[in-house]
Structure 1
Amino acid sequence: MPNSEKSESLHHKHHHGHGHGTHGHGTRGHGHHVFHLHGTRHSHSHHGHSHGSTHKGRLAQHTMHTLEVARFDVAVLALYFNKAEARDKFCRAIQYFCKFINNGQPGIAYDIEKSSSLARKAFRIFKFVNDLYAFLTPPPERVSILMIILGKVKNLTQGTFLFLDQFSWAAKTGLYKDKKRAEQIGKISLYSWFVSCVANTIMECAAFWKQYNQISHLPSMRSIDKFEVRHTLPIQKEHRKKLKKIRRLELAYRDKMITLIKAFMDLTVGVGLLKLKPKIITPRVMGVLGFLSSLISCYKLIPKVEEAKKKTPIYRIEAYESPQ
């Protein structure tokens, strides 16, 4: 056999062998990801067999892709509920939803509310250490003295609330026998939480106002015709930077607005728990506001896609690579 024909035959066998490897193992060659399936064959004799192999390869690719998407979604859920804070806020949503249903009246919803509240207290054991660490941490640079004071007040009062709340948990479980002292401690802890809500609301108002000023001082950037910029070739770099800056500032502004609304909700719930306005802030009003505030907290704790990809080994495609 001539050298040219021999090399062509070897080249054909080489490609044919790799085609069978792709169909059998779900990878191309060595070290390629599962999403690199093509399902193509270099066969010159059976066109129908090649078409069937291509269809099977695409079907296998679609199946593996669907499986990986499902595994990633489950991995994000596992990462989300692995956080103690996420479980706490989820229990808080159940607690205030039941408060809205029972409206302070005894029943099944009332019992679920009390059990959820007790479960949340168990989640918050030694959580005051985080606020103690934040209180002892030096403040960042270029921050006004008022914001520094408010931040330290928030850390101190919230840490006090979490510390005293452990005595309330001990009293409800029967470990602490002095009920009168436990009620006094519980009231002090509620006032501490209310003061922390006041400080947090003032800080969020200042942050929202600062973000609003950044948005309002960009009239020239807002007037950019996005449609024209996207359909102009080539897109100018200056316009692209302006658009990115506008999107980033708008997202930050939206996030600050949601955070500020949540702060006012928590402040109103604190007024209701202390019974400062019992005729206006009823248990049903507290239930609605507490439930919505808990949903916002649950939403903010959802991990980002980049974070999920880094922290979920189940999603790493390298586990499905063909052996070397």
Structure 2
Amino acid sequence: MKTIGILTSGGDAPGMNAAIRAVVRSAIYYGCKVYGINRGYKGLIEEDIQEMNLSSVGDIIHRGGTVLKSSRCEEFKTEEGRAIGVKVLKKYGIDCLVVIGGDGSFNGAQKLSELGFPAIGIPGTIDNDLAYTDYTIGFDTTQNTIIDAIGKIRDTSSSHERVNIIEVMGRHCGDLALYAGLAGGAETVIVPEVDFKVEDVCNKLKTTQKRGKRHSIIVLAEGVGNAQDLGKEIIKETGADLRVTVLGHVQRGGSPTAFDRILASRMGVRAVELLLDGKAARVVGIRDNKIIDMDIHEALSMNKTFDKDTYEMVKILSI
């Protein structure tokens, strides 16, 4: 009988609980014991660990966040910290580990695998910034959260004939801004992958104003720049009545969509099956609606390709 450990690390994402549930229940189904590690790698070093059973994951598939809590741990980035982590895992008789998180969390899993401790990664991050997989857990839910906010802001924007800048998450990856901007009917989408000029944004606003449209939505990925500063430049150039909304951490919360619940469940089961097959240093993903797995080092070395076709589509549809 294998004993599997599970933790969530880095930024939380809707659907993490569904993944935890899938790992725990499928592991028990296959006759394994499961330990939940609270607060990520920090909790591992501090031995914040408890055995999990079927009841531990009852009624959590619909909940946002993570019941195992999450944190960031600088100590685990050191050789000494990782050595402590491996020692704790062995102390509890844990044979292998499932890590749910983003690239930073996967780096930790990779380091554990290099030390000879089997680990499997499940992508849980709202940014959708991992190149090897089409989607990460939490991305779909966050898109819908943003789209809902865009709709509400558009109502008041239209009523007052205002320009609204909506800042969304995405420091290095503009997927949230791009797809939510398209689905929300934004007039302008600004992402880290494409250079932009304030002059171009202002010219577009002037063009729409000339044809009688007085309200506009600009979706800005946080990695591009400060929304308030951009707003001041636009006001200076166009004289527009403008407001800025920074959605912030509201994007991380909320009940996961059906897509994220199903995706997380499929990935969680695959992770357990990989461990039972003796696989390690792998990450689970999805491509063309099929659950896949690949070497963790290879996955982390891949560069994400920006969807330029969709970006061009946004420009076409927002004339």
User: Which protein has the bigger strand share?
Assistant: 2
TM-score, structure 1 as length reference: 0.24
TM-score, structure 2 as length reference: 0.24
User: Which protein has the bigger helix share?
Assistant: 1
When Rg is computed on C-alpha atoms for both structures, the one with the higher figure is 1
